[in-house]
Amino acid sequence: MQAPIPVSSPLQTTSTVTDQTAISTQTNNMALVPAPPSETPLFAEVDMCSDSSATTVRATVVQASTVFYDTPATLDKAERLLAEAAGYGSQLVVFPEAFIGGYPRGSSFGAIIGSRTAKGREDFRKYHASAIDVPGPEVDRLAAMAGKYKVYLVMGVIEREGYTLYCTVLFFDSQGHYMGKHRKIMPTAVERIVWGFGDGSTIPVFATPIGKIGAAICWENRMPLLRTAMYGKGIEIYCAPTADSRDTWQATMTHIALEGGCFVLSANQFCRRKDYPPPPEYVFLGAEEDLTPDSVVCAGGSVIISPLGTVVLKLELTDKNHVLMDLGEIARAKFDFDVVGHYSRPEVLSLTVRDHPTNAVTFTSASAKTEASHK
């Protein structure tokens, strides 16, 4: 890893829109690699930090849609977006929830209490086929992308383990190594029909040269004890891939940034109806008749928020405005409120996290496992 390079601390950011795909790139004062030279500046620059010895890092949240039911094409799209972000000099790139494998918005999988339909079972078969094994060839390709473009990559995927699916985030370092994963511990509502539940063994926070990075997915960010576990691991760059584009999501992200004294990077897909297969192959239950191919079914709203609760970026499809942020605010925010440090009262309130894997079947010896496998 390259040694820190002292530079001045302009806070730089840009967002671009290409083919209904938005990429937002931000710079903060934790990076190790300076911006690449360019004859035409790619980023607006404003000096907002008084520490002239600070180094810089550039982070990107990607707002783009899956190629539904086509994982190879989605991987190709991910690489194009990653290359674009790397062209801006980004060192950290965060993708939305379920980008690889797809978020099955509007689908019921034919399930009602007491029965399932034949089409719903076929929908699950196709969704299962679009998921990826971890580890597996798709993970290897994502690792190679991270190494090729020299970025830390946070990628939302649908993970397949046997015939159970998990909504998962994968982490890769800039040398092309797979670091680990987080499985969503509590799917929301109908998501529980198709996704399994993660356990305490996959709530990592990775110490990297650009900061301590972790993730929670969509509405599990509303779970106070999960957030506290991540704060206890010292998270600094809190990634929150999501499928929620409502205004109330912005309030959740702002609260987490203030509560944890960390930067929050939330990436969401921007999707139109035509980004999903047409009916009758794929049906938005209860809404299909009101939709046209160009109807927006997920409005994005990806956001980056500072530790002092300032929204330094909220990205819409047509948003090309430059915004500014100063990640030196982490220490300044912790001076006010350190949720697991000087503002905690462990003698009154404490949390114990069971961080071991939980399995449906556990064999007490290798011989028992071998014997069972031959029955």
The per-residue pLDDT for range 210-265, each reduced to its tens digit, is 899 999 999 999 999 999 999 999 999 999 999 999 989 999 999 999 999 999 99
* Per-residue pLDDT band at 175 (split at 50, 70, 90): very high
Mean pLDDT of the chain: 82
pLDDT in tens, 352-362: 888 888 888 88
* Per-residue pLDDT band at 26 (split at 50, 70, 90): low
* Cα-based angle 220, 223, 229 (whole degrees, multiple of 5): 100
Contacts of range 45-52, beta carbons closer than 8 Å, 24 or more positions apart: 45/10, 45/11, 45/12, 46/10, 46/11, 46/324, 47/8, 47/9, 47/10, 47/11, 48/9, 48/10, 48/11, 48/324, 48/326, 49/9, 49/11, 49/326, 49/328, 51/9, 51/328, 52/8, 52/9
**For residue 330, what pLDDT is reported?**
81
Which of the residue ranges 20-29, 31-40, 269-278, 314-323 would you say has the lowest mean pLDDT? 31-40
From CA 186, how far away is CA 191, in angstroms rounded? 9
Catalytic site residues?
A: 97
From CA 155, how far away is CA 144, in angstroms rounded? 13
Whole-model pTM: value is 0.82
**Closest-CA residue to 58 (of 257, 313, 331):** 313
From CA 219, how far away is CA 190, in angstroms rounded? 13
Q: Are 15 and 320 in contact (CB under 8 A)?
A: yes
* Per-residue pLDDT band at 33 (split at 50, 70, 90): very low
**Closest-CA residue to 53 (of 113, 97, 9):** 9
pLDDT in tens, 200-225: 999 999 999 889 999 999 999 999 99
- β-partners of residue 205 are 214
* Per-residue pLDDT band at 339 (split at 50, 70, 90): confident
Q: Are 162 and 143 in contact (CB under 8 A)?
A: no
pLDDT in tens, 45-86: 222 233 433 456 788 899 999 999 999 999 999 999 999 989
CA distances from 160 to 197, 234, 248, 363 (A): 12, 30, 31, 22
Pairing mode of beta strands 237-239, 211-215: parallel
State mean pLDDT over 299-321.
Answer: 75
